[in-house]
């Protein structure tokens, strides 16, 4: 299976990139909601979802083991998790790292928990 390569950024580009990246397909909606990540090797990380859109999200928490370009699953509530690729990871204070993810498919219309976050935040 061929996987798309992660976007590569220069140091200057990474410093300019923030949570309101103009290349996004649509606006991200601010939230603060408990979520979990499952990495390909099976590690589970409890994180906080800080913004979300139909095509991606940002989380904060212990993301130090994540790498740009790695595939993960992200879950909230009882539904099956969404598959995503890690687009960037930033180090912060201990336990306050952040990571941005692009969903492999848009959030499905029947994913009520995700759609409520997109529509109304939490």
Task: Give the pLDDT confidence of 13-56 residue by residue, as tens digits.
Answer: 444 444 434 555 677 889 999 999 999 888 999 999 999 999 99
Report yes or no on 16 lying in a domain: no
| 11 within a domain of the structure (yes/no) | no
Residue 9 belongs to some domain of the structure: no
Residue 95, domain extent: 26-120
Note the pLDDT of residue 17: 45
pLDDT score of 61 more than 50? yes
Give domain status of residue 14, yes or no.
no
**pLDDT for res 50:** 94
pLDDT at 1 over 60: no
Helices and strands in the chain: count of H runs, count of E runs: 2, 6
Q: 59 with 81: CB under 8 angstroms? A: no
Higher pLDDT, 48 or 7: 48
What's residue 23's pLDDT? 55
Instruction: Give domain status of residue 31, yes or no.
Output: yes
Task: Say if 65 falls within a structural domain.
Answer: yes
Residue 88 has pLDDT above 90, yes or no: yes
Q: What share of the chain is helix, strand, coil (3-state, %, to 5)?
A: 10, 40, 50
In a domain, 10, yes or no: no
Q: What is the CATH number of the domain that holds 115?
A: 2.40.10.220
Burial class (CB in 10 A: 0-12, 13-18, 19+), 58: buried
Q: How many domains does the chain have?
A: 1
94 is written with which tokens? Answer: 């201990």
Q: Given a cut of 50, is residue 90 above it in pLDDT?
A: yes
End-to-end CA distance of the chain: 37
Let me know if residue 75 belongs to a domain: yes
Average pLDDT in the chain: 81
């Amino acid at each position: 299976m061929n996987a798309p390569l992660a976007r590569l950024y220069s140091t200057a580009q990474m410093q300019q990139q923030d949570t309101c990246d103009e290349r996004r397909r649509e606006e991200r909606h601010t939230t603060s909601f408990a979520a979990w990540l499952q990495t390909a090797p099976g590690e589970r990380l409890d994180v906080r979802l800080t913004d979300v859109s139909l095509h991606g999200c940002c989380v904060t928490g212990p993301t130090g083991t994540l790498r740009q370009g790695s595939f993960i699953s992200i879950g909230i509530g009882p539904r099956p998790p969404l598959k995503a690729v890690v687009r960037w990871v930033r180090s912060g204070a201990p336990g306050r790292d952040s990571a941005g993810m692009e969903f492999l498919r848009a959030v499905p219309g029947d994913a009520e928990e995700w759609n409520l976050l997109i529509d109304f935040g939490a």
